[in-house]
Amino acid sequence: MPAMASAPLKQYYMPEIAVSGAAKDNKEREEVKLKRFYLLVALVIAACQVTVRAAQVTDLYAAAVPVANQSESERDRVIQEAFAAVLVKVSGKPEVTSSWALQSSIAKAGSYLQSYQYQAVPLWEQEEIGQPLLLVASFQPRIVDQLLREAGEPIWSSSRPEGVFWIAMSDDGKRRIITDRDLELPAYNALNRQSSQRGLPATLPAMDSEDRAVISVTDVWGRFRAPLLRASERYGADFVVAGQLQESAGQWIGNWLLLVGGESQRISTSAPTQGGAVENLISQVSNLLGARLAAVESVGISNSVIVSVSNIGSFSDHVGARGMLERLSVVRGVQVEAVQGRDTLFRVSLIGQSRSLEEALRIGSKLRPDSAPQITQSQEQILFYRWVP
């Protein structure tokens, strides 16, 4: 939990480029113009160099559902199912479809349909999916958001954390790590399919020479944190999932460890199929993250909080810290309130409450909780963070 304190905003000031009143000749005026020019260039370059860690989900308002054929009756049958899947995807909350306020909207799903198309299911996936086709239905974003907002349900924006999944599978008595090249493996396809359905960006490791130098199948099977975190650094992951997947008595059993925001949580999955166990895993991880990051908008109330960020030593740091705040799903907008030395005050407008902001900053963030300075005066509450580039 970041330290919270009250501070007089008058202690801070906005930096300016000082122009001496004695600068009367053209040379000095040109020097001032040149400094301003270089300042602007430095700011633009810094903005271009900021690393964006959160991933943008581009198909947030679309869902794919299996269909037997392209008939109108078959399409009408699954449109409600697709719309319900989109509500879950956007809210990050599986129980949202049970909301009495949304039941009538689900029944009228066809009214919100924006477009649809069919996709053929690859032969190696048809047994798992059960149908030869997928209907991909897209719905109107504005309507979906409005319905969720009016029902008092959360909205999880398209800026979402990305995770790397280390899956050690026991196959015919041999253990192996599933990689990004296992295209025909049910677990691989299930991970891609369900991560798309839930809007949770997921990556499988390459297990090339670089990976093999720092992690082994034993490390993944045993869910050993140190090698997992070390191996995941190259992928820039906001969270890490690792565990073992094996078949026992006709069931595929998974035992997993979720590492996120300096915390860990154990997850168990079980399903008749390999793919089903992985789909269950993706759903549970999405539920956990959605509960922390999706925000219920406070209708008619404007919430904002002051975030004090220390260790801002350059324009690149300033742009990086501000960009980090702006990309959070719970943030509506960010303004620079004041600057003092290496400290910058940001006024952050929120969709939900400040607790949601604190939760969001714990996941894949370069802003770390900082201790509050010794302040005796009391004017406004501030969250204190330190920028760690």
Which residues does 120 contact at the CB level (< 8 Å), separation at least 6? 132, 133, 134
The pLDDT averaged over each successive group of 10 residues in the chain (389 residues) is: 39 36 49 46 41 74 97 94 98 95 95 97 89 97 95 91 96 92 94 97 97 98 97 94 96 97 94 96 96 77 83 88 86 88 90 82 85 53 87
Give the C-alpha separation, 27 to 34, whole Å: 10
Give the C-alpha separation, 247 to 253, whole Å: 6
Backbone angles phi, psi at 201, to 5 degrees: -60, 125
Domain spans of the chain, in order of start: 4-16+47-55+298-387, 59-150, 161-293
Tell me what pLDDT residue 373 has.
56
CATH no. of 161-293: 3.30.160.100
